[in-house]
Amino acid sequence: MTKKTETISSNVLNMTPEEAQAFIRHIMGPPKRLLEGEEYKSMMLILSLKDPIRSSNNQHCWTDEYEHNGRKYEVTSGLEGHPIIEEIGD
């Protein structure tokens, strides 16, 4: 184990629950909620009329990020038969 790895692992083990939650959120990003049913259909229509604020392609799937009414949404295509829409939480 390198000195840097030892320092990180010892810091992680000595975190308070609040520090650990902040660390996990920093690593994993904000929470996401999968849209389904009527909510999915409505949001797909709305987002199809907008331009994405960011796009990425990893050769297996495409992800477009949109903003609507102060909320952000990710639309991921190429994994299944229909795109996946996730609302990005705070």
86: three-class secondary structure by DSSP: strand
How far is residue 8's CA from residue 26's CA, in Å, rounded to a whole number?
15
Q: 33-75 pLDDT, tens per residue?
A: 999 999 999 999 999 999 999 999 988 889 999 999 999 999 9
**Distance, CA of 30 to CA of 32 (rounded, Å):** 7
* 38 vs 46: CA distance, rounded Å: 12
pLDDT band at 5; cut points 50, 70, 90: very low
Q: What is the mean pLDDT of residues 9-15?
A: 71
**Domain ranges in the chain?**
1-29, 31-90
Please, are residues 68 and 47 in contact by the beta-carbon 8 Å criterion? Answer: yes
Mean predicted lDDT score pLDDT of the chain: 85
- How far apart, in Å, do the first and last CA atoms of the chain sit? 36
